[in-house]
Amino acid sequence: MIVIDYFHWPKQGEWRFDPTYWPDPEAMVRELKEMGIELMVSIWPTVDVESENYEEMLEKGYLIRTDRGLRFAMSLHGNVIHYDATNPEAREYVWEKVKQNYYDKGIRLFWLDEAEPEYSVHDFDRYRYHTGANLQVGNSYPVQYARGFYEGMEREGQKQILNLIRCAWAGSQRYGALVWSGDIYSSFSSLRNQITAGLHMGLAGIPWWTTDIGGFHGGDITSDSFKELFIRWFEYGTFCPVMRLHGDRIPKQPMQGTTGGASCLSGADNEVWSYGEEVLAICKRYIAIRERLRPYIRLLMKEAHEKGTPVMRPLFYDFPQDQATWDQTFLYMFGPDLLVAPVCESGCTEREVYLPAGETFLNVWTGEEADGGRALSVSCETDRIPVFVRKNPSLLKDWKSIF
């Protein structure tokens, strides 16, 4: 399924389609569904001081309070303050706005951005929520933010609820949270951080995890070094719980208008065909692999739902008796059958891969067989991420037809 990020507000906090852009949004949503495309709407929990909703929300106590200074937390296209997601009445108020302007028009997916919440000045002792001081309860904000949408969608009878969200905390998984790692920098060091973060998230009980493939900030689509990073990240993304391409690329494009989304500078093109034929061929190869992996991933997601089993997990999760697996950092199991070793350094054509003891593994690209309990030096040309499959897989019996 293709997801479109739609992001345009006349004023932050008004939560509606702009009729200038979409005179008949319901027809647009229907047409997209007929094409097999599911529209996702990006929502921020911020309310502009000039929003039509601001005074009402202020009077009813639906906004985060400030102990000192002016009542705004960020200056982003205006002065904004976040709504208080820890207040159940505020969650209901926001959901009713979203329902009226989006859900009732056919939208069934939401991109819940800015879920930390983020402040221009990080004086965390300044902010107060319905449930207490920010220093005491601030980490619960993303849980309650996701909860407001989940419970609203559930009341409407929706059974399968999943929303993309920029932050999470203990319990977020109860509310259909698909977490991505935020606006990260485009670098190999950042890619290494994502591998570690994704494994930690899974062990923390939040199996739905994704990153901005290629990173968010700083990726120049004309740069050969960034193209290499993009390929390596794309290969890694193929073996993440959710494979997702996103980023604010450079060089920036000229401003196209003075209102709404057109009043912002746009990033450079970021489709898989934006990087030249060589990159496109590699991306197409891995998209096809991901598509053929769909039945396997469905089984992993089912297990994650029923048992909380991480989709991607450290080697020691499946091989706890092998002490060497506890020291392995930048490789992991994708489900019980695939061992994945992302390439995390520029110019790398060979990397070391440790295979856990007590198992025999097969290199999915060459078919070569190797006993576990030792490290191998594995070829990893630009178009190839080292992946091994257990010789006797429990779920992925047809792996040869996938790779």
Is position 122 within any domain?
yes
Same domain, 179 and 80: yes
Residue type, 241: P
Residue with tokens 């390596």: 232
Same domain, 217 and 315: no
Which pLDDT value is given to residue 70?
Answer: 83
Helix axes of 88-101 and 141-155: crossing angle, nearest 10 degrees: 50
Which residues is 332 bridged to in the sheet? 340
Which residues is 75 bridged to in the sheet? 79
Is position 77 within any domain?
yes
Same domain, 293 and 333: no
Same domain, 137 and 271: yes
How far is 28 from 37, CA to CA, in rounded Å? Answer: 11
pLDDT tier for residue 8 given thresholds of 50, 70 and 90 = very low
In degrees, to the nearest 5, what angle opens at C-alpha 23 toward C-alphas 18 and 28?
100
Which residues is 106 bridged to in the sheet? none
CATH number at residue 93: 3.20.20.80
The pairing of strands 163-165 and 109-112 is parallel
Mean pLDDT of 51-55: 94
Is position 305 within any domain?
no
Same domain, 241 and 178: yes
Last residue of a domain, one of 271, 299, 327: 299
Is position 135 within any domain?
yes
How far is 232 from 226, CA to CA, in rounded Å? Answer: 10
Residue with tokens 């060589």: 278
Q: What is the edge-to-edge ordering of all strands in the sheet holding 109-112? A: 2-6, 37-43, 109-112, 163-165, 177-180, 209-210
Is position 140 within any domain?
yes
Least confident of 19-23, 216-220, 263-267, 316-320: 19-23
Same domain, 119 and 224: yes
Which residue in 12, 166, 28 sits closest to 74, CA to CA? 12
Mean pLDDT of 24-32: 89
Which pLDDT value is given to residue 11?
Answer: 47
pLDDT tier for residue 5 given thresholds of 50, 70 and 90 = very low
Same domain, 291 and 194: yes
How far is 308 from 286, CA to CA, in rounded Å? Answer: 27
Is position 385 within any domain?
yes
pLDDT tier for residue 7 given thresholds of 50, 70 and 90 = very low
Overall number of domains in the chain: 2
Which pLDDT value is given to residue 176?
Answer: 95
How far is 217 from 267, CA to CA, in rounded Å? Answer: 10
Same domain, 289 and 333: no
Which pLDDT value is given to residue 253?
Answer: 83
Half-sphere exposure of 231 (CA within 13 A, CB side): 25
pLDDT tier for residue 18 given thresholds of 50, 70 and 90 = low
Torsion region of 306: left, alpha or beta (phi above 0 gives left; psi -120 to 50 gives alpha)? alpha
pLDDT, tens digit (0-9, with 9 covering 90-100), for 252-287: 888 776 665 555 678 899 999 999 999 999 999 999
How far is 181 from 278, CA to CA, in rounded Å? Answer: 28
Same domain, 340 and 392: yes
Last residue of a domain, one of 299, 327, 347: 299
Residue 286's alpha-carbon distances to 223, 306, 356, in angstroms, are 21, 28, 26
Which residue in 207, 228, 263, 234 sits closest to 78, CA to CA? 263
Same domain, 41 and 65: yes
Same domain, 315 and 294: no
The pairing of strands 332-334 and 338-340 is antiparallel
How far is 221 from 320, CA to CA, in rounded Å? Answer: 42
Query: With 70 as the cut, is the pLDDT of residue 37 above it?
Result: yes
Same domain, 325 and 291: no
CB atoms within 10 A of CB 262: 13
CA 188 to chain centre: 18
How far is 225 from 228, CA to CA, in rounded Å? Answer: 5
Query: With 70 as the cut, is the pLDDT of residue 3 above it?
Result: no
Which pLDDT value is given to residue 123?
Answer: 87
CATH number at residue 341: 2.60.40.1180
pTM above 0.85, yes or no: yes
pLDDT tier for residue 183 given thresholds of 50, 70 and 90 = very high
Q: Residue 279 belongs to what H/E stretch?
A: helix 277-292
Residue type, 223: S
Structural domain including 171 reads 2-299
Which pLDDT value is given to residue 255?
Answer: 75
Which pLDDT value is given to residue 77?
Answer: 74
Is position 134 within any domain?
yes
Residue 3, phi then psi, degrees to nearest 5 = -120, 130
pLDDT, tens digit (0-9, with 9 covering 90-100), for 299-315: 999 999 999 999 999 99
CB atoms within 10 A of CB 14: 17
Is position 304 within any domain?
no
Query: With 90 as the cut, is the pLDDT of residue 294 above it?
Result: yes
Known catalytic residues are 113, 116, 183
Bond prior to 356 in cis (omega within 30° of 0)? no
Mean pLDDT of 375-388: 97
Last residue of a domain, one of 266, 299, 332: 299
Residues with Cβ within 8 Å of residue 61, at least 6 apart in sequence: 84, 87, 89, 90, 130
Task: Report the percentage of the chain scoring pLDDT > 70.
Answer: 92
CB atoms within 10 A of CB 189: 9
Mean pLDDT of 136-144: 96
Query: With 80 as the cut, is the pLDDT of residue 13 above it?
Result: no
pLDDT, tens digit (0-9, with 9 covering 90-100), for 358-367: 999 999 999 9
Which pLDDT value is given to residue 16?
Answer: 60
Least confident of 31-40, 257-266, 288-297, 298-307: 257-266
